[in-house]
Amino acid sequence: MEVPILKQGEVLIATFQAALSDADLNLLRMGLVQQVVKFRSRAVIVDVTAMDVMDSFASRTLREIAHMIRLRGAETVIVGIQPEVAFAMVQLGLTLEGVATALDLEEGLAYLIQKFKNID
């Protein structure tokens, strides 16, 4: 299943679909980093609004994506985690530590704009 990746200026937006297999996640990990390199993006927003479950593999993949993208000097923000998913995640100890999060796409963009303003 292809994950659509849109470019919005210096930000890439990847929108996860509801059911992503482990293979999809692996492809996505490489794909996103390649896109960051290609477009010299400063940030990636991963929108998981459509995900109604988040297992440990998906959670670990997200963290790895964020780490790899940081090695390219770019920021990752995970947005759209649903309340029920968030609750289930913390009960399993999946806290996405070290990765920025925001309520939704709008908040994620606002966060990045603020951050870039402070840096530049």
Interacting residues toward another protein by CB under 8 A: 78-79, 81-83, 86-87, 89-91, 95-96, 101-104, 107-108, 111
> Which residues share a beta bridge with 8?
11
Q: Which is nearer to another protein, 39 or 107 (CB)?
A: 107
Q: How far is the CB of 61 from another protein (least distance, A)?
A: 16
Q: Measured between alpha carbons, how far is 111 from 120 in angstroms, rounded to an integer?
A: 14
Q: How far is the CB of 38 from another protein (least distance, A)?
A: 28
Q: How far is the CB of 55 from another protein (least distance, A)?
A: 15
Cβ-based neighbours of 26, under 8 Å, separated by 6 or more: 61
Half-sphere exposure of 61 (CA within 13 A, CB side): 22
